[in-house]
Homo-oligomer: A and B are copies of this chain.
Amino acid sequence: MATSDVINERVGELDPSRRVLLGPGPSDVSDRVLRAMAMPTIGHLDPEYLVIMNETCDLLRAVFQTENELTLAVSGTGSAGMEACVCNLIEPGDEMIVCINGVFGGRMQDVAERCGAVVHTMEVPWGEIFEPSAIADMLAKHPKTKAVGFVNAETSTGAYQPIPEISKVVHDAGALVLVDAVTSLAGMDLRIDEWGVDACYSGTQKCLSCPPGLAPVTFSPAAAKVIDERRSKVQSWYLDMTMVRRYWGDERFYHHTAPINMTYALREALRIVVEEGLADRVARHALNHRALRAGLEAMGLRYIPESSLTTLNAISIPDAVEDAVVRGRLLKEFGIEIGGGLGPFKGKAWRIGLMGTASTERNVILVLSALSSVLGSIGAKVDTDAALPAAMGVFGAG
């Protein structure tokens, strides 16, 4: 096997650098989660694994703040969760309103159209958010709308879209509320039941601080009823909740082999969230965000106007500063990953995540120091001495 020999010589033992992951995800994964993931694989129908699945569902319900029976982890990353929510609720010809104010609303439109939905899009400029009254107007124009989809925490812009008021107008119109909570679950307050969310998806690699690979989803009884009463098969066999739920439920009907070790990891990540307590966790994310924001603004950096997430900080790149140079040096010299901009923000914004395990005072200080150092050394017009005192002031005030 000449080819194999060549590959064998070239592809050595895996030895990735230890990064500090302060981008838009993945976030740093704790050793507890990594250790859990490396536990011995057992069968996907092993009685012990079925207990682990049940426990994972219970933990997911606690973190989603829901009683929804149909709550589980889809065997794919966050985008598979989006597709699972959309393709299970939507049948060809159904009308859906999708709110677009960044990458992920745009993605939802694409997914919904591929499912055969008649999509009515609402758009505001990237970074802005939607008024409930505007959504009510749109629903009045399209009274047959089956679902309204929007992004709670837009990872591409930092915009936070509040949920409760929109839920009310959507429910008043008899439609379902579909929420992208990829960057909010377990980092910001998110109350599925109290806020009337009918379908919600997230990813594991953001505020849960678990490696990417699973997508937590939850469906309200109303959404589950819509799925039960479908006239057509779900177009994706893999994501078909009418079958997947029979595997996660008491029936244990074989559908596909679950990603067993990823479930181990998610279960441990969820245990860590529950141990900390949701309220404390949300407060920690908020405090570290305020400190980072104080430091960045004291330095002279500006946030994207509507960037208000506590889990992700979207800031404008100063004039004459080269995006790739700065991010490259942060990675190379400090082992710190921050994110670049997407779409219209490419080259114009940085995205600094403080998610889950990575949302710490230490990381706030570290990234402010590193950024000050790099920006100072390239002569950027920022006040590099001001950052740390401003951040420390926030921590001092608690």
Residues of A bordering B, CB below 8 Å: 1, 3-4, 7-8, 10-11, 14-19, 21, 23, 25-26, 28-29, 34-44, 46-49, 52, 55, 58-59, 62, 75-80, 82-83, 107, 110-111, 113-115, 203, 205, 211-213, 233-239, 254-262, 264-265, 267-268, 271, 274-275, 277-279, 331, 337, 342
Report if A43-B62 is in contact (Cβ < 8 Å); known contacts: A8-B271, A78-B256, A261-B37.
no
Least CB separation from A257: chain B residue: B212
- On whether the beta carbons of B259 and A212 are closer than 8 Å, the reply is yes
Contact A260–B42 (Cβ < 8 Å): no
Contacting residue for A14 out of B8, B36, B212, CB 8 A? B36
As for how many copies of this chain the complex holds, the number is: 2
Residue of B nearest to A86 (CB): B237
Rounded to whole angstroms, the CA-CA distance of A38 and B40 in the bound complex is 12
CB contact under 8 A between A16 and B203, given known A29-B41, A238-B83, A256-B77: no
Q: Is the CB of A75 within 8 A of B76?
A: yes
A18 contact from B40, B43, B49, Cβ within 8 A: B40
Contact status B21-A41, CB under 8 Å? yes
A48 to B262, CA, bound (A): 22
Say yes or no: A259 contacts B77, CB within 8 Å.
yes
Please indicate which of the listed interface residues A18, A238, A264, A271 has the most CB atoms of chain B within 10 Å of its own CB: A238
A262 to B41, CA, bound (A): 13
Q: How far is the CA of A82 from the CA of B237 in the complex (A)?
A: 10
Q: Please tell me if the beta carbons of B39 and A37 are within 8 angstroms of each other in the complex.
A: no
Q: In the complex, are the beta carbons of B39 and A257 less than 8 A apart? A: no
Contact of A40 among B29, B36, B258 (CB under 8 A): B29
18 contacts between A and B (CB under 8 A): A7-B58, A11-B59, A16-B48, A17-B48, A26-B41, A26-B43, A29-B40, A29-B261, A34-B41, A34-B261, A75-B77, A77-B257, A77-B258, A79-B238, A114-B235, A212-B257, A213-B213, A259-B262
Contact A76 B238 (CB under 8 A): yes
Q: How far is the CA of A95 from the CA of B236 in the complex (A)?
A: 19
Closest-by-CB residue of B relative to A80 is B238
The interface centre, meaning the residue of A17, A26, A260 with most chain B CB atoms within 10 A of its CB, is A26
Task: Report the Cα distance A78→B75, complex, angstroms.
Answer: 11
- Contact residues in B for A257 (Cβ distance below 8 Å): 25-26, 77-79, 203, 205, 212
B34 touches A21 (CB 8 A): no
A21 B4 Cβ-Cβ under 8 A: no
Given A62-B4, A114-B237, are A75 and B213 neighbors across the interface (CB < 8 Å)?
Answer: yes
A300 to B: closest C-beta gap in Å: 27
- How far apart sit A37 and B11, CA to CA, in the bound complex (Å)? 16
Q: Is the CB of B52 within 8 A of A39?
A: no
Q: Contacts of A277 on B, CB cut-off 8 Å?
A: 1, 4
* Residue numbers in B under 8 Å from A331 (CB-CB): 46-47
Q: Which residues of B contact A26 (CB under 8 A)?
A: 41-44, 257, 260
Closest chain B CB from A86 CB (angstroms): 9
Supposing A213-B75, A257-B77, A271-B8 touch, asked if A1 and B59 sit within 8 A by C-beta, the answer is: no
Contacts A76-B76, A237-B83 given: A4-B40 contact, CB under 8 Å?
Answer: no
In the assembled complex, which residues on chain B have CB atoms less than 8 Å from the CB atom of A205? 41, 257, 260
